[in-house]
Amino acid sequence: MDILWHLLFGPMGAPMGQAQGGSPRRGPARPRRARGTPFTRLLISLLLTLAFGAVYFYFKLPALNVHSGDFYWFIVFLCIVFSVCMITLDGYRAVTPGEYLRYCRKRLAVPFWTVALVGVVVVIGSVVGWALFRAPDYSRLLPVEEGDFTAEVSEISWNQIPMLDEDSSNNLANRKLGELSDLVSQFTVSTSSAQINYQGSPVRVNYLNYGGFFKWWNNYRNGIPAYMTIDMRTQEVSVVRLEEGIKYSPSEYFGRDLSRHLRFAYPTCLFDDVNFEIDETGTPYWVASVIDKTIGLFDGADVIGAVLMNAVTGETTYYDVADIPTWVDRVYAADLLVAQYNYYGKYNNGYWNSWFSQTGCTTTTQGYNFIAQDDDVWMYTGITSVTGDRGNIGFILVNQRTKEARYYSCAGAEEYSAMSSAQGAVQQYSYKATFPLLLNVSDQPTYFMALKDSAGLVKMYAMVNVQQYQVVATGYSLEECRNNYHAQLVSNKLIDEEALTPPPASDVSAQTVSVSGAIADIRSANIDGNTVFYFLLEGGNVYYTISAKSCPAAVLLNPGDTVTLNYIPQDSLLVPAESLVFDPGF
């Protein structure tokens, strides 16, 4: 502060125009020497402002859009730089601080009034977007239709149920990368992955990042050579090698940085969510959602289109939201959809109602998941009252490509209560439940979740009835869990036993493999009231599990018996067997 005062007004303790020794000067203070002519000083100030502005734009990447708050900060920054340049080049030295301020106001009128105008625009633009005045507009951001769950949410094929969440998928991808000696030392797996439908199957796709600047320097000429897909049903991780590497990604530098490339190609667009997807031929793309602020200047964000960028070539194409290709699964980010529903739930009966009587006010529960249906990905989340009780009054499904939203009235347990119920059924193992997936099981809304150990590995599965969350079934395999759940539905008189239909044979054959061998070791344990057998085949390194309820003949197994079994391949010490056949020898 002392240095700034010294530069602007002279030495501390002496008024401007008085010598440091204390004796007042006679006559007015001499102005400092100006640099060049007024035109030259103006030109130099403008050039310096443009130079600093270019550097700011290159690194901060503000959208040149009146609906972007960064745009107004950019204008203020330019005005400050221009003012500093003009004052420095003018070299004026005033007698008093007041005189100096009057000089600055006169010489810097244009940047001063520009900043003032920016402030007025920001304030007015914010006020006109307040919910106090625009509550009906907020409530219309997400049109919601009433739906019939049993009629509109079809029973998913059991071989299509995604059994992995994002954390488990990322763990599998990291483990797979560790097996690839040519990649593990140079690249890392992205911490986020998008769930998509790829060739009719639910998968997650993970892109790779450079391991650091020097590893980027060693590899940037060829780009990132592969990406990973994780089948959410079989837990199979595939490394997709590319003929030409990915040249545009978040871990690139300079002009190939993903955000910079998009900003330079579309300087006025407001980008909300940029995610990694692949088309039906496996070509990698970045899908960047483009939004507009529809309420006031800064509120009411909604998607108006998307930019599809080829991750290898950098070619970009803009599509309006109605024209986006059908292979794209994620245009509306889940967080944006949740925010839009919360506006609807809060303001659909007016602003003042949301504060006082709160009639009909609802909100989403914490967390969401995704359902693959009709070759699209739908976001699911529960709906509860704004009073924050422990129950749901229904749930919504929203298409992430088209924003089609449907509300299903179904009073029952909210997701975290269902997770606690599932964990309580296997509390002896201290397993943690993943966030539930909503399924239609025999026309019953059902929470399905995986149960993971402390290492993040899936060990069991659980199903919890939404309306009666004390109805809980667990199993080491999906088939065992399903059978136990059906038995629970029948015993609790939620469905008739005659209404049960056996699963299609393709549910097993489409994803299982067979193995035969002699039993080297066999053990058993009582879990949740069921006897489960664990057996190791000669020459094998995993234990296969099956319950006596699923295969009563398993109680006759002995070491040395030859068995043939079907199972779903997975990376685990304990592998659930779907079926088992053996000859007892008598």
Q: What is the CATH number of the domain that holds 565?
A: 2.40.50.140
Note whether 378 and 423 are same-domain residues. yes
Nearest to 224 by CA among 236, 237, 238, 206: 206
- 123 three-state secondary structure: helix
Distance CA 567, CA 551 (A): 14
pLDDT computed for residue 41 by the predictor:
83
- Within 8 A by CB and 6+ apart from 334, the residues are 368, 370, 379, 400
Owner of token pair 């058993």 = 524
In a domain, 133, yes or no: no
| Three-point CA angle 567, 544, 505, nearest 5° | 25
- 254 three-state secondary structure: helix
Nearest to 363 by CA among 378, 352, 348, 379: 348
Note whether 168 and 278 are same-domain residues. yes
Question: Would you state the structure tokens that stand for residue 355, as one six-digit string?
Answer: 């504060």
In a domain, 472, yes or no: yes
In a domain, 186, yes or no: yes
What's the domain range around 502? 145-160+356-511
Question: Would you state the structure tokens that stand for residue 195, as one six-digit string?
Answer: 């769930």
Distance CA 393, CA 395 (A): 7
In a domain, 5, yes or no: no
The pairing of strands 391-399 and 437-441 is unpaired
Instruction: Please state whether the predicted TM-score (pTM) of the whole model is above 0.85.
Output: no
Note whether 186 and 296 are same-domain residues. yes
Please say which residue of 511, 528, 562 terminates a domain: 511
Note whether 499 and 368 are same-domain residues. yes
**Burial grade of 530 (CB within 10 A; 0-12, 13-18, 19 or more):** middle
Note whether 429 and 380 are same-domain residues. yes
Please say which residue of 331, 366, 394 terminates a domain: 331
pLDDT computed for residue 402 by the predictor:
93
In a domain, 241, yes or no: yes
Specify the DSSP element, H or E, that contains 4. Answer: helix 2-9
Neighbours of 217 (CB within 10 A): 11
Note whether 170 and 266 are same-domain residues. yes
Note whether 319 and 189 are same-domain residues. yes
Note whether 149 and 236 are same-domain residues. no
Please say which residue of 461, 493, 511 terminates a domain: 511
Question: Would you state the structure tokens that stand for residue 266, as one six-digit string?
Answer: 């579309």
CA pseudo-torsion sign 406, 407, 412, 413: positive
Note whether 102 and 239 are same-domain residues. no
Note whether 480 and 376 are same-domain residues. yes
Q: How many domains does the chain have?
A: 4
Question: Would you state the structure tokens that stand for residue 372, as one six-digit string?
Answer: 């693959």
In a domain, 192, yes or no: yes
Note whether 213 and 251 are same-domain residues. yes
Distance CA 384, CA 364 (A): 6
In a domain, 7, yes or no: no
Note whether 207 and 327 are same-domain residues. yes
Q: In order along the chain (586 residues), what is the average pLDDT of each group of 10 residues?
A: 42 42 46 66 91 96 95 95 86 68 78 92 94 93 89 72 82 89 89 84 91 92 93 86 94 95 96 92 94 94 96 95 93 94 93 88 90 85 81 90 92 88 89 89 89 84 90 86 87 73 45 81 74 84 80 82 81 75 64
Nearest to 249 by CA among 334, 312, 165, 332: 312
In a domain, 10, yes or no: no
**Burial grade of 200 (CB within 10 A; 0-12, 13-18, 19 or more):** exposed
